[in-house]
Amino acid sequence: MAVTTGTRRGPRGSADRPSKGTSTGRASSGRGAGGAKQSATKGARGSAERPWLGQWNSTVTSYYLLVGATGLLLVIGLVMVLSSSTVTSIAEGDSPFAAFLVQGRYALIGLPLMLVAARLPVRWYKRLAWPAMIVSLGMLVAVLFAGKLVNGNRNWLVVGPLQFQPSELAKLGLAVWLGAVLGRKQHLLGSWGQAIVPGVLGLAAVLGLVMAGHDLGTALILALLGLGAYWVSGAPASLLAVGGVGAALLVGWAFILNQGSSDRLTRILATYGAACDAASECYQSIHGLYGLATGGLFGVGLGASREKWKYLPEAHNDFIYSVIGEELGLLGTLLVLALFAVLGIAMARVVRRHEDPFVKITTAAIGCWIVGQAFVNIGVVIGVLPVIGVPLPLVSAGGSALVTTMLALGVVISFARSEPGAAEALAARRSVVKRSVAVLSRRGRRGTGRGRGDGAGR
């Protein structure tokens, strides 16, 4: 009896437990399914009420933001170079389209390079990192011995009919090289020794060669580039702080205190001083502000600038943003500013969404270079920073700067194409476009055939 009762109670107890567990499991699964249905319904309602949210979270958003902002800035730059350089070209005895044709020629050179760079896979850039760095260092050394001196800076290299700035190419070479070096040893960057060798040494070599040519503006941009690369790589904050202080002291000694016969220190102090001579130290800054103030909200009209009539030096180059403000007004300057902000947001998306450390670090370096240089140039024009001779990327006149910037953006576009799911989405959209074109062409052929048949019948 005891054994029988135990065997009966055992199965009943074990049967009762599973039955309770099963019912609880069904209830919980029912609640889970209901919760999933509710969350899916809420997600569908959210995407239906806010369709832009689904587009923003798309895998190809970074790609289209980069392509759109780059194209618009390039078009604005070509138009404004034409508008701001005509008077200067005529005064020099050239055609009014001289500077525009030169800028357009370099844009045509940079466009296919950008397209090729946008199609190359990521592994190719990893292979080209060290050769690009070696070539960049070699060209910077060649500038010191055979470079051309322009406005006190030895940063131009002349090879036959070709004249370019190796420091512009060194920006891209350094960005890709830092991405390859820091991305490969990212897990070791907690140590100062691993973070310094060879990344800091390579950055210091490029900075030293550029500073030897007395190019302060490019040196500052290279410092921003290195800071962005090391920040994303996860290097110690103490190393970044020490590096920033060291770079500031080095730049201050090399370009301000040890200036020799140059008046750079006087011009920098005059920018922030109360007494500023409008005829000498602050002439360029004041006339840049005159252009911005004259434009108002909508501007005086495209081509109607007064400051470009030999009042504003470098109107089609470093101070083209002032001409934009005068001719297109506040709305034009805000448009340019917004486009650079879009570039920065798109590159930040690539850094956040991509899985490869090389892509993250290289994109951060290029982003700090292009967007940082844009804000430095704009800061100079509006009087926040002293005049240091930094062009506005994609907008200012300058062949080597334009080609290198377009090539660098092509590299980032290639990275955006390799985001998780981006390649498949782009391929699917291309197939949809091809099918639509095929359908339209078939309908056109049928309509043409019917029209011919009706005409033959008549």
pLDDT of residue 330: 95
> How far is CA 164 from each of CA 17, 170, 450, rounded to the nearest angstrom?
82, 12, 59
**pLDDT tens digits for range 270-322:** 666 665 656 666 778 888 889 999 999 999 999 889 999 988 888 899 999 99
The Cβ of residue 362 has, within 10 Å, a number of other Cβ atoms equal to 33
Among the ranges given (40-54, 71-85, 95-109, 224-238), the one the predictor scored with the smallest mean pLDDT: 40-54
**pLDDT tens digits for range 324-349:** 999 999 999 999 999 999 999 999 99
> How far is CA 293 from each of CA 151, 270, 325, rounded to the nearest angstrom?
28, 21, 8
Q: Quickly state the pLDDT bin for 405 (edges 50, 70, 90).
A: very high
The pair of structure tokens assigned to 394 is 């994609």
Beta sheet of 162-164, edge-to-edge order: 148-150, 153-159, 162-164
pLDDT of residue 259: 55
Q: What is the pTM of this model?
A: 0.81
The Cβ of residue 426 has, within 10 Å, a number of other Cβ atoms equal to 16
State what percent of residues in the chain have pLDDT above 70.
74
**pLDDT tens digits for range 118-167:** 999 999 999 999 999 999 999 999 988 887 877 667 788 887 777 888 99
